[in-house]
Amino acid sequence: MKNPFRKTYSPAEMETFAFLAKVKFFKHLNYEEMSRFLPAIHQRKYVQDEVVFFRNDPSQALYILEKGGVTLNIDIRTDFETIIKIKEGEPFGENSLLENSKRIYTAIVDTEEAVLWVIPNYAILDIFQSNQKIKAKMMSSLATFYDGRNQQLFSSYKKSYGFFNLGQMFE
């Protein structure tokens, strides 16, 4: 027997939940928890070579690539070196889950057009403040994400030993 008092969601909301459930930072949230983000999410279209954000900008939003392509780049002197190409359905700008953080890379659209889901940092932090369970789940996902990145960094360092001093990272 169905509970008549249980919240129901529209087909559009269910599509949004299905999309978010595939994103590493949202996959452990239930529909009710995800619904807290709905008023804050908006889509934005970008064109080729448009910068989503620069390194050292304040981390003002979390982005999820719906369609198109985005590269994450580090600037070395006057050039950009691509670190990774974001795939559709992947998030980036993850340090926007933290307070007062700055971007550590530059994000640039590398396809004719890209459609991004944008979730402002202030909305994320408001949700975290009012719901510690959501914050705990998402911060756990963020910690797992950063742990994976550290493992990749150390693996890359082992393979290219001698090209840079990893000890500088810990100074």
- C-alpha–C-alpha distance, residues 42 and 38, integer Å: 8
Q: How much of the chain, in percent, has pLDDT values that exceed 70?
A: 89
pLDDT at 167 over 80: no
pLDDT in tens, 124-154: 999 999 999 999 999 999 999 888 877 777 7
Query: Which are the contacts of 4, defined by CB distance < 8 A and separation ≥ 6?
Result: none
pLDDT in tens, 91-115: 999 999 999 999 999 999 999 999 9
163 domain residue, yes or no:
no
22 domain residue, yes or no:
yes
44 domain residue, yes or no:
yes
- Dmax over Cα atoms in the chain, in whole Å? 65
- C-alpha–C-alpha distance, residues 58 and 151, integer Å: 26
120 domain residue, yes or no:
yes
Average pLDDT over residues 63-77: 94
* Full residue range of the structural domain in which residue 35 is found: 11-143
157 domain residue, yes or no:
no
115 domain residue, yes or no:
yes
More confident residue, 77 or 100: 100
- Band of pLDDT at residue 162, cut at 50, 70 and 90: low
For residue 143, the model assigns a pLDDT of: 92
CATH number of the domain that residue 42 is part of = 2.60.120.10
5 domain residue, yes or no:
no
Average pLDDT over residues 15-39: 96
For residue 55, the model assigns a pLDDT of: 94
CA-nearest of 149, 154, 74 to 108 is 74
Number of domains the chain contains: 1
Judged by average pLDDT, the poorest of 40-49, 62-71, 138-147, 155-164 is 155-164
For residue 161, the model assigns a pLDDT of: 67
151 domain residue, yes or no:
no
The answer to whether the pTM exceeds 0.95 is no
